[in-house]
Structure 1
């Protein structure tokens, strides 16, 4: 998202307030602890408990306001889509982490770019042009609401210094009021909130909660989880467990020569190919395309998913080619909300994961999945930013060769049917990913008028020219171009590090399969349900000794292990997970020791585990303990 005065209507909020009256411990609160305290305070200003869900846009807007934000309608729509039914406390924390507050200095710096006279004021005309035309564009109503503020507007000018002071004061007061309410209510203060389990330092009073910094979005079933805490020594010494169960699985080295996936004779079989991409979000969650497939008659089917091969630096293996992929197949019964899990692609041949079998006539959903073990946030900083544009001897602006190569690969990724052209639907998946807005029919007609098209679809050259026009409209300013690149998973060196494009091939022997991408969704939705169903159906179940209502289900398919926690009790359960004795393993949560919280009568995916080195033996040893 481009940084500008319009980056949220709210531009920013006051930074987390380090309220001394909340610090009952001897040691000062860390930045993470202050963040979660603010999350708690804001959420409980609107709801009685953190286990209550946000069920409307109005509730989301109100909770964000109490957290010191003042989101625009566009920001609300980004998190509350037509498919959203509810958001929970963890979702709210994720939103606050994404919509980061801005300092007063940053606000003033953004406005000062428009202050041509350096007198602390901006003309209404210049302000309107900037807010409505650049970055995250504001609506005329939103701009007018700022221009009509009496205390900061006079004589056709906007006093941005007064506005920043007033805004920061208002935002800070909202958060301060929420924190004071939390402090005044002892029951709320001692309550455990969402999946952010309470833990205590050996030097702290055991009656005072300390918030865990981990966070992860939830499934529609109401399961709660977090990424846990790296402080293994603290967790191992102060936790008291009242039940536990251990699981040990030893796996042989996987050789690429030992193929389990065998391709049938596909002569005369009809094929439908679809492309898509896994995108890694700021909070570590994975978002991907999902597909709807129609089979007119019963048919033998051969289905595969694998990373999409794009241009690569010679001699350097692209990171996404080693990312594991999978595909869940669900049957649609009566409506899109009623989906029945059929199978998952658990056979493998090198980087290809597949399934073969018989499917009856009807509508099916194809839901791609990756464990997240090998698609992770890039930790190595890039010191030098790649150049995106340059000017020739005449001063004319052009795209660099490196940027054009990246755009060509992006074209391959968003060309979902692989026909070398972009339809309006395909282009809108790209627009929603990079800007949060769709291109309407009128805008698409203008696009076809000014850029090269075939069969009413945009060509690769037309896509390049469209981006060149944007660069020239911005007079070479690369910030908006970087927003697009970062949204598509590219780092500052123009390497694809936080996305994994994939290709799906569906072969049917007796009919023509029809497949279409219908939406993009996070792993916490239907995919979470499908994963839980698959593991419960085929995995090994172990109840915790001393607590038979907590069951650990573990499913191994040779190249990955997935565990699901089922809580049959009437109370939420906090489970301590310890993988320290595992060898040659990596899990999707990161640390070897973490904790998750499972709501009553629900299931949740606890972790995925894969080998660090597939050519070596690996052993997964995990102890699951119920925290008293």
Structure 2
């Protein structure tokens, strides 16, 4: 059931937007914002994250406190009418509010912003600035060279900042209107009837305030905006006046989550998805024993020639015994990062599942290049001990003519490896597929002379290796080694097989990208790298979307807890100049499993560092799960 909102007074309805003077125009703006994300007004908002996105599309920049008013633990979904009522209550950010946000930096209230105050604010969250960078930013705007910024001295600066924010909103609005017009034209072509009545007003309206939620994750806030101005002068999205680098009050109530997949509203697959451009790739998570059991995976580059709405899905791809445990499938997600000259900025990530059980996300993306980085928590995919493996399975044997042949079990494992290496899923291994396989198993790319050997000795089809040819290649290796299987075992263990030839140290997956209005779409395998590259991105999203509190007696130590539909993450932020040892005890949680193997885990957090403590997922996905975490400083 939707949690209904009481209808606001008529006076409140006119506060929803400075550019709205009549209720019909206001409702048209709401429709334009809603339809820029959803296909139909009957579609529902199914998560707090989606509520934030659609509110940003309407020109609002909701804080965590604002979202909490309308999305509580009892909220399953919100309708379009609910959204309209929220927009009536929540007005757009004003210049006065921006000024209040800047004044919050003036911690001692002396009317000036000092280097120390600005430095403290800009080095507490997200992409941190150095002291020299903060000093250079002050120097650029400090006209009287006293090392401080006073409000009278820099009135023009604040005005310019506000104008920059508004210009950004206008640019985002134009892109969103353009995308909506494409959708409406497509709908008219499909129905072969002209639009009439109220819908015409939606298409014709140019007044809806839009903010591009796909460019800036909710919660980057003032410090991010100031960093953008200080470093590059580039425009950033509208700031949240309450999104300052201080934690919110701790919420004592347990967080009870419904069974995964049982919620009444989900991310919906676009109804016309078959008309969208579709590209996909397979890939795999691997446990790298040589690097302390860390997880590595294929990573991708997505090229979009046009602004478009995208629908991205990620799911385990069952091959052999991999990807699925007795408790459920290995969790899979993908982070979308916008590629830049010096760093990658988080755009979004697959936070929810759809009705088919796929982790997915839907959003608008401007034309450009993006990095897609798969992620799994490690709660069900982790380095396992030898266990009951008493001896190695035989890989080869001799036939009656004393010739070396591959055992039946080894052939089956090789067939599974072939399917894992076939990234484009065409039943053959291209040179590129074979190259990624070779990088994983030997650490080296396939040289031209090596590929010449392949082409001259094994079965190919259209210049690509067949499954029969792949088995023959391994047969040749066994013969060349005179029955020595050490190199064969290196291949098997690298690909995730244990000594019983069970694929339990890897999880194949399938990544699908659908683009609505971009025919020139390209997805390339960009590397096979540790997912540790995502740690900063994960920390950013947890800080932006999670609940925060200060550890008692530790003014510079904060804990953030993010709880999504299928994953919870607990991280510790240490802003002090000393390392801290802290115990995070989640043993009182219900129906959860952690990536740390032990729910009562102690970690060391270096100074000025943010560290992930626990990833948690439900042990039984069909039952409710409760997250409880108790922290204790270890002296």
TM-score of the pair, normalised by structure 2: 0.57
Q: Which one of the candidate residues 422, 430, 434 is aligned to 1:423?
A: 430
Any conservation in 2 of the 1:301–1:356 contact (CA below 8 Å)? yes
Q: Which one of the candidate residues 326, 332, 345 is aligned to 1:340?
A: 345
Deviation at 1:376, TM superposition (A): 2.3
Query: Partners in 1 of 2:393 and 2:492 — Cα distance?
Result: 11
Deviation at 1:312, TM superposition (A): 5.6
Number of the residue aligned with 2:369: 363
Any conservation in 1 of the 2:576–2:607 contact (CA below 8 Å)? yes
Q: The residue matched to 1:377 in structure 2 has which SS?
A: coil
Q: 1:402 to 1:329 in 2, by over 3 A?
A: same
Q: Which one of the candidate residues 552, 557, 560 is aligned to 1:550?
A: 557
Spell out structure 1 runs of 4+ moving beyond 4 A.
Answer: 244-248, 316-321
Q: Which moved more, 1:588-597 or 1:322-331?
A: 588-597
Number of the residue aligned with 2:65: none
Number of the residue aligned with 2:409: 402
Number of the residue aligned with 2:337: 330
Is 1:532 aligned to residue 530 of structure 2?
Answer: no
Q: The residue matched to 2:620 in structure 1 has which SS?
A: coil
Q: The residue matched to 1:607 in structure 2 has which SS?
A: strand
Number of the residue aligned with 2:572: 565
Number of the residue aligned with 1:515: 523
Q: 1:382 to 1:248 in 2, by over 3 A?
A: farther
Q: 1:599 to 1:245 in 2, by over 3 A?
A: farther
Query: Partners in 1 of 2:371 and 2:613 — Cα distance?
Result: 24
Number of the residue aligned with 2:105: none
Q: Which moved more, 1:542-551 or 1:382-391?
A: 382-391
Q: The residue matched to 1:407 in structure 2 has which SS?
A: helix
Query: Partners in 2 of 1:400 and 1:535 — Cα distance?
Result: 48
In structure 2, the gaps of 5 or more residues are 1-248
Query: Partners in 2 of 1:245 and 1:387 — Cα distance?
Result: 57
Query: Partners in 2 of 1:505 and 1:319 — Cα distance?
Result: 26
Deviation at 1:245, TM superposition (A): 7.9
Deviation at 1:407, TM superposition (A): 1.0
Q: Which one of the candidate residues 287, 304, 309 is aligned to 1:300?
A: 309
Query: Partners in 2 of 1:321 and 1:280 — Cα distance?
Result: 19
Deviation at 1:490, TM superposition (A): 0.7
Deviation at 1:483, TM superposition (A): 1.3
Task: Trace 1:179-194 onto structure 2 (pairs within 5 A).
Answer: none
Number of the residue aligned with 2:601: 594
Query: Partners in 1 of 2:283 and 2:591 — Cα distance?
Result: 31
CA deviation map 1:148-197 (0-9, x unaligned)? xxxxxxxxxxxxxxxxxxxxxxxxxxxxxxxxxxxxxxxxxxxxxxxxxx
Deviation at 1:605, TM superposition (A): 1.5
Any conservation in 1 of the 2:261–2:353 contact (CA below 8 Å)? no
Query: Partners in 1 of 2:324 and 2:606 — Cα distance?
Result: 42
Any conservation in 2 of the 1:330–1:339 contact (CA below 8 Å)? yes
Task: Trace 1:29-428 onto structure 2 (pairs within 5 A).
Answer: 249-254=254-259, 256-258=261-263, 260-264=266-270, 265-282=272-289, 283-311=292-320, 322-333=329-340, 335=341, 337-349=342-354, 351-379=357-385, 380-428=387-435
Deviation at 1:257, TM superposition (A): 4.7
Q: 1:476 to 1:321 in 2, by over 3 A?
A: farther
Deviation at 1:247, TM superposition (A): 6.5
Query: Partners in 2 of 1:329 and 1:556 — Cα distance?
Result: 19
Q: 1:296 to 1:261 in 2, by over 3 A?
A: same
Q: Which of 1 and 2 has greater Rg?
A: 2
Q: Which moved more, 1:338-347 or 1:541-550?
A: 541-550
Q: 1:276 to 1:247 in 2, by over 3 A?
A: farther
CA deviation map 1:240-266 (0-9, x unaligned)? xxxx98966432441545462321121
Any conservation in 2 of the 1:471–1:478 contact (CA below 8 Å)? yes
Q: The residue matched to 1:267 in structure 2 has which SS?
A: helix
Number of the residue aligned with 2:480: 473
Query: Partners in 1 of 2:591 and 2:458 — Cα distance?
Result: 52
The answer to which structure, 1 or 2, has the higher relative contact order (CA under 8 A, 6+ apart) is 1
Any conservation in 2 of the 1:347–1:355 contact (CA below 8 Å)? yes
Deviation at 1:363, TM superposition (A): 0.3
Number of the residue aligned with 2:173: none
Query: Partners in 2 of 1:357 and 1:266 — Cα distance?
Result: 14
TM-score of the pair, normalised by structure 1: 0.57
Query: Partners in 2 of 1:320 and 1:254 — Cα distance?
Result: 13
Q: 1:430 to 1:320 in 2, by over 3 A?
A: farther
Deviation at 1:517, TM superposition (A): 1.1
Q: 1:587 to 1:388 in 2, by over 3 A?
A: same
Any conservation in 2 of the 1:246–1:621 contact (CA below 8 Å)? no
Q: The residue matched to 2:528 in structure 1 has which SS?
A: strand
Number of the residue aligned with 1:164: none
Query: Partners in 2 of 1:583 and 1:318 — Cα distance?
Result: 19
CA deviation map 1:563-621 (0-9, x unaligned)? 12112222222222222322222110111222212222221222101122222222221
Q: 1:552 to 1:317 in 2, by over 3 A?
A: closer
Deviation at 1:317, TM superposition (A): 6.2
Matched residues, number: 380
Q: The residue matched to 2:275 in structure 1 has which SS?
A: coil
Query: Partners in 1 of 2:327 and 2:621 — Cα distance?
Result: 16
Is 1:486 aligned to residue 493 of structure 2?
Answer: yes
